Amino acid sequence: DAKTTQPTSMDCAEGRAANLPCNHSTISGNEYVYWYRQIHSQGPQYIIHGLKNNETNEMASLIITEDRKSSTLILPHATLRDTAVYYCIVRVADTGNQFYFGTGTSLTVIP
């Protein structure tokens, strides 16, 4: 599985967009990019995933570069409840669909 590289921590002002980058320069053609977040003392929560097209859902947008070597998760209007550790995971779609988490980005939303 491709390794992912994320900044250790980021701050974002409440109400502003939070842009969380992820590098996955060794990604293969059939590997998907997943984003999860984990709020303290809870299990990881699924946010969004994509292969090569940009994706948007009610929580966030995922922008994947054309060469697929990096991606950005966008939380359009960050709230205090978005404070969490955000994990970018690259995983081949196969029968087991195992995830191997990277170190993640600790996002702090500041009032």
> Which of these ranges, 16-24, 57-65, 67-75, 101-109, lies near another protein under the rule CB under 8 A?
101-109
Which C-beta is closer to another protein: that of 66 or that of 94?
94
Pairing between strand 9-13 and 105-110? parallel
Q: Which residues contact 43 (CB under 8 A, 6 or more apart)?
A: none
Residue 86 binding another protein, by CB under 8 A: no
Parallel, antiparallel or unpaired: strands 61-64 and 55-56: antiparallel
Backbone angles phi, psi at 18, to 5 degrees: -105, 125
Range 25-64, binding another protein (CB under 8 A): 32, 34, 41-46, 49
104 binds another protein (CB under 8 A): yes
Q: Interface with another protein by CB under 8 A: which residues?
A: 32, 34, 41-46, 49, 87, 91, 93-104
